[in-house]
Amino acid sequence: MIEIQAVVMKVEDSVAYVQANRKSSCSGCSESNCGTSVLAGFLGQKAPLYLARNDAGAKVGDRVMVGLEESALLKGTLLLYLFPLLLLFIGAEAGSAIADAASRDGYAAVGAMAGLAAGFFGLKIHSAKAGLGGQYRPVILSRVVDAPIRFVEPGRLKK
């Protein structure tokens, strides 16, 4: 299970909207012109809200541990990237097959775009059905309790 700390921003019934801090893939790069930092600057720094099952009974403002099964992440990633790409190639091949030799490239491009659109539309339908069931939804595992930090001067430790 993949786990990350987040803060509960809103609670509705048995679900909570949580916000986790984004982490850079390199998280320490001093280069300001690398692709990751340029993309992060373009997309903005505000962390999005995620919907999570609230099995732990967390309240607004609580710091929580949120978990997602690796299999759900892998399956979701494969669906998100490979399904539209597969339909793009199928559409390009179908467009190319119905055209004559002179206009084959144009038909292939139109077929590819139609296949890509069909892939995204199919994902929208699938996510509407599977997403409501909670198959890909993260879960709040527990609340994070901060322990107070106690500073002790050297030589003052009691034995």
Domain-by-domain residue ranges, the chain? Answer: 2-22+35-143
The tens digit of pLDDT for each residue in 38-86 reads 666 666 666 778 888 888 888 888 888 888 888 888 888 888 889 999 9
Q: How far apart are CA 92 and CA 107, in angstroms?
A: 8
Looking at residue 99, the DSSP 8-state letter turns out to be S
Q: How far apart are CA 119 and CA 86, in angstroms?
A: 8
Tell me phi and psi for residue 52, to 5 degrees.
Answer: -135, 145
Geometric angle at alpha carbon 144, from 21 and 141, rounded to 5°: 85
pLDDT at 24 over 60: no
Residue 72: its pLDDT value, please?
A: 81
More confident residue, 86 or 24: 86
Q: How far apart are CA 30 and CA 37, in angstroms?
A: 10
pLDDT at 94 over 90: yes
27: left (phi over 0), alpha (psi -120 to 50) or beta: left
pLDDT at 23 over 90: no
Residue 140: its pLDDT value, please?
A: 84
Residue 27: its pLDDT value, please?
A: 53
Measured in whole angstroms, the distance separating CA 124 from the mean position of its chain's CA atoms is 15
Average pLDDT over residues 112-124: 93
Residue 78: its pLDDT value, please?
A: 84
pLDDT at 116 over 90: yes
The rounded mean pLDDT for the chain is 78
Per-position DSSP letters for 13-42, written without gaps between them: TTEEEEE-----SSSS---TTSHHHHHHHH
Contact 140, 18 (CB under 8 A): yes
Q: How far apart are CA 37 and CA 24, in angstroms?
A: 8
pLDDT band, residue 32 (cuts 50/70/90): low
Contact 64, 18 (CB under 8 A): yes
Which of 46, 133, 123 has the alpha carbon at shortest distance from 77?
A: 123
